[in-house]
Structure 1
């Protein structure tokens, strides 16, 4: 009798409740800091009861993100279909729908951006398949809107627009609903309509053409560690993993770094120094706020292209540093973004601080995302394209 009553009272949406609780915990504390019992407790059940619905924590994460992709596809389906039949008329409704979903599912967007690497490979493949099908429809609409684009250019602009929407997962700035989504949609449209430089097949990317000195053992370790941190996450990488990646026995690493967090600190400080130097040089050479923003965009693109693993680690792993170091580096991060915001508001005084911050974060996210995508990283004009896309986002925001 007791068992029958218990079953009768068990909510039919228990799996969805667990997923919602897990998404909140993963977003707030990080994947590795959350245990199965934490998820169960947040949903008001016992740990063993969770296993009736999921095999493990990784299975929970996969369910959360796959469900999110399906919700996105469902919400924008009609708008995407409209762009295939009438690209010009259907573009703005599509971008507005995508912006609204990104804002409504902001926590889920952040979860995918920073915790998606912890998915089971099968779930990663399935998410890419479902998202790829949706992106294919977007591409059909964009090719109709801009028939002069080749397939690679259309793909680049679609991906950049998705980065604009995904940028809301990287910060906490907000606006009233009736302002936020239209602003994000406008920024996405600025990217979709941005001009692209003509192809230069024979030109080697400038950041790769620079001669490089033979790296020291310490540099090899730092480079290998940042790559592994980016690919797997800080907690999933051991000192032995770092040593193996460079052909060094784990204990020998301690001649160069006191601990794994010491490596993370060195990588983060290097990234902060590069950004600060680029900021100072841009401000010193600029003639006015608009010129300063253009120079900053070029500087940021150059820094990211030379520091791809570093920027990813700097953006996502500071929580794993000792409190004092993490606090200092987060202050530097905020200060860097604040300079962009200050310049944009000097250019357009009527623009609110949150709106300026949303636009700046969108521009930075486009630059951060595209080089980490293999099909774009070898484009010979990538540096110029990224600078143009970042400037297009900033100019659209400056229009007020």
Structure 2
């Protein structure tokens, strides 16, 4: 966005204030009166601009899609035939927009489920059209790619740009955009492995899981598919084969269930990270081991996806800080290893890079258009390694 752009109109200003509140407190934690108070107006005055809170969220997110569409059109209209320079302009334009409006990316990632079905379909339609445009340009440059593989790589590039929403680390704006464009460029150059079936999982063992384990597994799957607020204790009980009230014998609340899921996923990752550290000869080998571990946990159950989702704002008050510390400790191990393996990266740049790699895996594993690919786990490992520049 140019510095000479006109000052945002009142509607855009109100939407911007709402976006900040949504990101800080979560969609369900913000009311119309909260937004009005932040703007210094009354609730009825706010209704003159928006029908309801949902309409505000839609206005913000559709505006973000429109900015990406504009950046894409500007980059692709400059040349008749696609070439590397044209793609560079596209990557840089999207990177700059992502840095400038990282709040919009955060809202789409965490709060998009609260849009009306119509608005969800509209954003999905336009996002898919954008990805199709990118994939077409990529195939023009890479004759070795088919449509499905080109689309996968473009989704991965989109995840790199969207990764700015999952953390608050920053560097100088120009350098931030340059780094994001470079990370996206790496995934677009990836040579995907052949689709080889993954080795069979270990046997499930003998006997029946404890009732607590059954409840945790059922809750993780439901939270992953529907979101925390759309799931009741009765739903969880039914999925576990018991009456809803019986769930309370094991967990005091839904928030306690969510915390238990997150703690178990975090403990698994931290224990495996320690195993990798002790068994690796150098930092690059350790990073590859962490990638292997992360993809295995991510694709093995819904626990990790739930733990790093928007539902984290619903942790019990006494558990939230500890669970956040576990996540930060885990990411810090990746950052420390990457910094040692690539001294040219300063700590902030290393952290941005690590978050981009993790986000690529998180996003692709839950994106319906690509997560049924037979060799997805191997592809996630290759893509994460490319973002970290391990090759």
Are the aligned partners of 1:308 and 1:371 in contact in 2 as well (CA < 8 Å)?
Answer: no
User: Residues 92-150 of structure 1, C-alpha deviation per residue, up to 9 Å, x if partnerless?
Assistant: 11111111110100111111111111111111000001111111110111111111112
Gaps of 5+ in 2: 1-6
| 1:108 to 2:104 alignment | yes
Distance 2:219 2:322 in 1: 22
User: Residues 233-261 of structure 1, C-alpha deviation per residue, up to 9 Å, x if partnerless?
Assistant: 33443322323444533212112222112
2:351 to 349, 357, 360: 357
Are the aligned partners of 2:160 and 2:184 in contact in 1 as well (CA < 8 Å)?
Answer: yes
Aligned residues between the structures: 383
- Using the TM superposition, give the Cα deviation of residue 264 of structure 1 relative to its aligned residue in structure 2, in angstroms: 0.9
Distance 2:293 2:86 in 1: 35
2:26 to 16, 27, 30: 30
Distance 1:150 1:291 in 2: 31
1:222 to 216, 219, 238: 216
Are the aligned partners of 2:69 and 2:130 in contact in 1 as well (CA < 8 Å)?
Answer: yes
User: Residues 257-294 of structure 1, C-alpha deviation per residue, up to 9 Å, x if partnerless?
Assistant: 22112211110111111111220121122111111111
Alignment of 1:223-238 (within 5 A): 223-238=217-232
Residues 1:84 and 1:128: Cα distance change in structure 2 (over 3 Å): farther
Q: Tell me which moved more, 251-260 or 216-225.
A: 216-225
Matched with 2:3 is none
2:90 to 87, 94, 98: 94
Q: Tell me which moved more, 351-360 or 235-244.
A: 235-244
Residues 1:149 and 1:244: Cα distance change in structure 2 (over 3 Å): same
Distance 1:370 1:104 in 2: 24
Secondary structure of the residue aligned to 1:85 is: coil
Alignment of 1:160-239 (within 5 A): 160-200=156-196, 203=197, 205-206=198-199, 209-213=201-205, 214-239=208-233
Gaps of 5+ in 1: 1-10
Matched with 1:157 is 153
Matched with 1:58 is 54
| 1:72 to 2:68 alignment | yes
1:293 to 283, 287, 291: 287
What is the TM-score with the length of structure 2 in the denominator? 0.92
1:379 to 348, 373, 381: 373
Alignment of 1:304-315 (within 5 A): 304-315=298-309
Distance 2:47 2:303 in 1: 36
